Amino acid sequence: MTHEEKLVITTALIYHAKQAFTNRSMILNIGIIGLRGMVGSVLQERMHQENDLENCQAHYFSCSQAGQVTTIAGQSHTLGDAYDCHSLAKMHIIIATQGSQYTKDTHPKLRANHWQGYWLDAASYLRTAADSTIILDPINQAAIIQAINDGKKDFIGSNCTVSLMLMAIAGLVENHLVKSIQATTYQAISGAGAKAITELHQQIKITGQQAETQNGLDLANTIHDIIKHQPEKYPQQHIHAPLAVSLIPWIDQEKPNGQSKEEWKAMIETNKILQRERNPIPVDSTCVRTPALRCHSQSLFIELTKNIPLETIETYLSQAHPWLKIIPNTKEASMAKLNPIQCSNQLDILVGRLRKANLGENYIQLFTIGDQLLWGAAEPIRRVLVKIIQHLQKNAHPKKHIANTTAA
């Protein structure tokens, strides 16, 4: 199936979902928590662009600004209290982009009060829960549809690098060609939050004021000496180390086996998405924080199940979904087109440096980049939202999906 054919099918599915909604009188209450964060703001922008909330009643909740009035898409909304379970229980669908601690505090209380609505979440807390479905519909659409039809209610976005990796190699996965994966990730500072972006910029400004009269190696040595011996010159409240002109080969908490939690997620979440928990694909990774501002990059070393020509591999990759963009493996193309700036704020998944490895004909290497705030966070959530709206409008009465709203 060509890119154009898949794009037509995808557009038709979304169109019919919205038509199904328009043709019915049911109004769905959709609660949105975390609107002002990075993922929340990107998600809101995408939902507005695609008219995903057309004919739905959106309710916005805040953890810190309840009662305040805000303007969203030209309309005024009074922010509800994100910890008010009585109000949340009136929602048919809740979209949470507030982080794992909020989910941990709130989700169990709603379920304990017999709320039967749909919980869509960008945070990691529920990803490994037995009843949750990790969502990445270009990869596991059949599993998502089955989960909706089976009455499952928790749909969780995967780790950003896992989503971007699977989007990059979807053509290999669907053709059962992946035997093992080794990944090195180069993750932008925006993955650590908006305040970390500002802090990195402050670090860069401070660095730019050092050794202004020096050049070349003398300049480099002076800056390195300052960072090494006077790290207190650099704000580190959010990044926890100087990152300007440097990198940090560790992201998230420590795990007992020597991995960081970010690295641990790669194998666990990849295999849950692919429904291969009983026969997992080995995935090893090293996750590195870099001073890039937006978009995560990954170097992938993949063992294939059999030897196939590079031309066939490129065909499989490029035909997997409409958003994959192959960058020719040349110096000129790689330097000009294969970098975070080229895919920032875009749905494109860039794949380049594709080649066979010296280890053997069954091994390939590639480099891939994607916007972690889109396919790595917001986009899978808004796409499953459309599917759930379609399901509710076609198959169910809304009152069956919420709790008794008199519950505390």
Q: In what order do the strands lie in the sheet with 154-157?
A: 80-81, 57-62, 29-33, 93-96, 118-121, 154-157, 132-135
pLDDT of 13 reads 40
pLDDT at 394: 87
Q: For residue 284, which of 321, 259, 315, 255 has the smallest C-alpha distance?
A: 259
Residue-wise DSSP of 104-115: HHHHHHHHHTT-
CATH superfamily, domain 3-158+376-401, is NAD(P)-binding Rossmann-like Domain (3.40.50.720)
Q: Find all residues with CB under 8 Å of 297, minimum gap 6, and list them.
A: 185, 186, 187, 290, 339, 340, 367, 368, 369
Residue 396 pLDDT: 57
Output the CATH code of domain 163-192+248-372. Answer: 3.30.360.10
Regarding pTM above 0.85, the answer is yes
Considering only CA atoms, give the Rg of the chain.
23
Q: Do 186 and 288 meet the contact criterion of CB atoms below 8 Å apart? A: yes
Residues recognised as catalytic: 160, 296
Q: What is the predicted pLDDT for the residue at 75?
A: 87
Task: Please check whether residue 41 is in contact with residue 35, taking contact to mean a CB–CB distance below 8 angstroms.
Answer: yes
Average pLDDT, consecutive stretches of 10 residues, N- to C-terminus, the chain (408 residues): 56 43 66 94 96 94 94 90 97 97 98 97 97 98 98 98 98 98 98 97 97 96 97 96 97 96 98 98 98 98 98 98 98 98 97 98 98 98 97 72 45
- The residue ranges of every structural domain in the chain are 3-158+376-401, 163-192+248-372
pLDDT, position 2: 63
State the pLDDT at residue 147. 98
Q: What pairs with residue 355 in β-bridges?
A: 365
Determine the number of helices (DSSP H) and then strands (DSSP E) in the chain: 14, 15
pLDDT of 4: 63
Three-state SS at 28: coil
Structure confidence at residue 74 (pLDDT):
84
